[in-house]
Amino acid sequence: MLLALCAVAFAVVGTLNAVRGQSLIWVPDGVALYLNFFIREGEILRDLLGSVGQPDFAVPLYTFDGGYGSDLLALMAGCLNDPLNLISIFVSPEQSEYVFEALIFVRFYLAAVAFALYCLSKGNGKWPSLCGAICYILSGYVLFWGVLRHPNFINEAILLPLLFWGADKVFERKNPALLIVAMALQFMFSVYFSYMILIILLVYCLMKYIFSQRDKSFRDFIVLFTQFVLYLGIAALIAGMFVVPIVLMLTSMGRVGIEREIPLFETFWYYWRYASTLVGGAMSNRGLPLGIVPVTGVALLAVAGKAVDWRTRGPWLIGLALCFVGSLLPHFGSMMNGFGYPTDRWAVAYALCASYAVVLVIPALKAFSGRRWIAFGVVAALFGALVVSFALVEEYLPSAIMAALFVFTAFIAVIAGRSCSPGAVSAVLVSLAIAGASCSVPIMGGEFGAKDELDVYQERGNSYNAMNTVPLDRAFSIIDEGYRVDRREVYGTRNQSFAQGFMGADFYSSFYNQNVDDLRRALGIADNYSNFIFNGHDGRFVLESLMGARYFASASEVKGAVPEGYEKIADLGEGSDGALYALYENPLALPLAFVYETAVNEEDFQRLDMVRREELLAHACVIEGLSRGSDIDALAPSGVVDQKVTIESAEGALFSDGLVQVYKPGGEIILKAEGVGEAENFLVFDNLEFESMPLEERTELLKSASSDVPGEEIPQYTAWDELKWTPAVSANLTLEAAGVRRVATIVNSGHTGYGGKTDWAFNMGYSRKPVREFSVGFSACGSYSFDSLYVSSLPLEGVSSALEKLQEDNAVAVELGINAINLQVQAEPEAADNIRYVFLSVPYSPGWTATMDGKPAEIKKANIGFMAIEANGRAHDIRLEYCPPGLKAGLVCSATGIVLFATLIVGRALRARRRKGV
């Protein structure tokens, strides 16, 4: 019955997508991450199986196709370590979409099974347990965060009930195997979620201890606490091979622990629609919807009185109260997210508590007195009034629909609860829960919002093709595999290089190499505001050449789409997005490894401005901690020309020193500069920060500006509008110069993707004629402050000569292997004692080790984020090998944990046998 109901519920959830001809694969992450990684895992497993017993057998731990090169365990974290994904070995890439969707249902069903088993373990009836399980999997956490966005998030919904069940066993002095195995799986799935789950488990155990009838004492508490620490410690050890490398990667990322401004309270708008959110009639936080039946169950449990024993309902009411209060306070969401940005991904606990409330009250309804039913009616009426008020005031039909469904559910609960059996009540409530989900899913998808987010689900049957938007496979025969293929962010799906298996410069994953981000930040590369997403080099000629991007794919020949220095070599034809693509080549692009004859200290490099830093990279290798090195000024005279800008005009904005105040959406400023010909031009903002503009301030600026525009209508805002105002956390900048148009997004610390980036050098492309006019459009009203704003022009003649010299002096042959790189460095005639730096545009990581001519060699951090090895002018054979940092220690931890687990379980079994013998 549970399987059948889960199938019905899942079909209801996917109905709207099915009608639209869409899959359940969310374009931003489902295609670029989950399906992509699912397919690659299958390829890896098949390759491993086929190479067993071969001399070159090796487990791939590194890929040169993700970003500039990535650790596979980190890049595919959360997918590679999901046992369900092992089925990918049997699935062809073309059929992967359908199996992937089937696995979403499997997780959906397993979450229901886990919840039902937990309920049954506590002595609840089958029908109430079944009803609670359906409510659980139709919660906002499972639907929004799981089914409709991140399928692997459902794993947390599977494991949490099992962890609670395992904890109960420990309290009852039974076998701790379930707790240990479930927690080990949790650690394997996600270190990030494990942090949240451990906090939730701690609260559960404290509530259970407080409300238990055991003989409590300080000694008893310490013994029990020690047992839990031991068992959870064993679980962490078992998962050590995944935990240790991920923890090391996590702690190395600058995004973690970044300072954010977190308000004490949410906005009024958040609280105003909160009741509607809980029943699924509005979206404030994405995982908070509980559903009409769970909300009804919570109200019933709250007024149940003696109908449900206090020791039974007390812990759950306290848990619900904690979740309720926590959902109202941003700092709680921040704490649950490791003190990062506030999140509601902990709401799986809210869903479990509310769904279990349904399980508890169903068999108790007949014991409700008239006073209890009246109390429930009052509570339901007050809650319903909140939902109805929001629906009427905001004229929001979805909330009105959910309000009606909630009132109907409350009414049915009274009628059925007084006269029907628990089985009949459960059947009715299951039907209502599924009906409520059918109405709330479109709301979760944004169907009734300002943006129809359901349009971002992949067309059914086209997910595999969508991963390969740019048809590069048609040109692999003419692409030299030793070079990278670049493209701008607007072309194709993220992680396409990883999907198609070519070396690119695009990357998207929650775990990233901080050293790469450091370089991009140092140069102000403006293709993305986040730390963990990048795509190429924003068309910068020097970077494209130095990072081995010999090829560039473009969907059009619009001015500025293709960087300077690239010439068309092939038509690729139509991509899966319907656009026509072409391939371009840059003859000055250097290979993956080449030789620098000159080096400078990183400290000297950091003293330059962003564009001069880029120019320097064409002349010298930047080495961290270099005690000796060339004088920057003596290398080559800087050709960069900085130009002050003056304001020509402003529309919908006020410009002053260090500040642009935009009071009309789409406000624009026109800037004038002297201009430099034969150069790449950059519009540079130092410390650019955005702050949303309150309505009152905007109105005042509009009134002030309207005096110059007779008859201009000023928007009228009421006190109610002011109260509901929510500050924007992001804004788009539209920059134009000499026909080249760029759109970039900036965010402030209220945005989940904020990574502390405030320095930007927007590449406005190459121009033979001096560019003297620049325009900047602002999508959002607000204050845009900055320390400096200027135009920086980089003439390409000098850097082109430097790049030509690097090519002439280069003497490195590169061979890429599994977790290894082999370099053959040729001798430098008549300069055997000269110091050279063999630079490799592969991200620096402590996981790399090197030998030169069979002897250990030091890998230096070069050009901020990459690697170099110091060598003299003689010929050398260099080999670099990769092992994820912490993997060896993690394997030792896993082996130790497995031994301890086996010892514990066997020891318990032997003791039990001895007791039976006695």
pLDDT tens digit sequence for 185-236: 999 999 999 999 999 999 999 999 999 988 889 999 999 999 999 999 999 9
Q: Which pLDDT score, from 0 to 100, does residue 291 have?
A: 95
As beta bridge partners, residue 793 has 641, 681
Residue 630 clears pLDDT 80, i.e. is over it: no
d(CA 470, CA 487): 9
Give me the half-sphere count of Cα atoms (radius 13 Å) on the Cβ side of residue 717: 15
The pLDDT tens digits of the residues spanning 135-160 come to 999 999 999 999 999 999 999 999 99
In angstroms and rounded to an integer, the radius of gyration of the C-alpha atoms of the chain is 30
The pLDDT tens digits of the residues spanning 708-720 come to 555 566 777 888 8
Q: Are 666 and 778 in contact (CB under 8 A)?
A: yes
Of 213-217, 844-848, 886-890, where does mean pLDDT reach its minimum?
A: 213-217
Q: Which pLDDT score, from 0 to 100, does residue 711 have?
A: 55
Phi, psi of 418 (to 5 degrees): -80, -20
Q: Residue 775 corresponds to which tokens in the numbers above?
A: 């325009």
Q: Residue 35 corresponds to which tokens in the numbers above?
A: 């399906």
Three-state secondary-structure class, residue 416: helix
The pLDDT tens digits of the residues spanning 808-834 come to 888 899 999 999 999 999 998 777 778
d(CA 384, CA 479): 64
Which of the two residues, 410 and 489, has the higher pLDDT score?
Answer: 410
Q: Which residues neighbour 104 within 8 Å (Cβ) at sequence distance 6 or greater?
A: 24, 146, 147, 151, 154
Q: What is the mean pLDDT of residues 602-606?
A: 92
Phi, psi of 383 (to 5 degrees): -65, -45
The pLDDT tens digits of the residues spanning 85-120 come to 999 999 999 999 999 999 999 999 999 999 999 999
- Residue among 93, 100, 95 at smallest CA distance from 26: 100
- Residue among 801, 814, 809 at smallest CA distance from 867: 814
- Residue among 6, 885, 138, 79 at smallest CA distance from 498: 79
The pLDDT tens digits of the residues spanning 355-377 come to 999 999 999 999 999 999 999 99
Q: Which pLDDT score, from 0 to 100, does residue 448 have?
A: 43
Three-state secondary-structure class, residue 195: helix
- Residue among 122, 385, 196, 173 at smallest CA distance from 279: 385
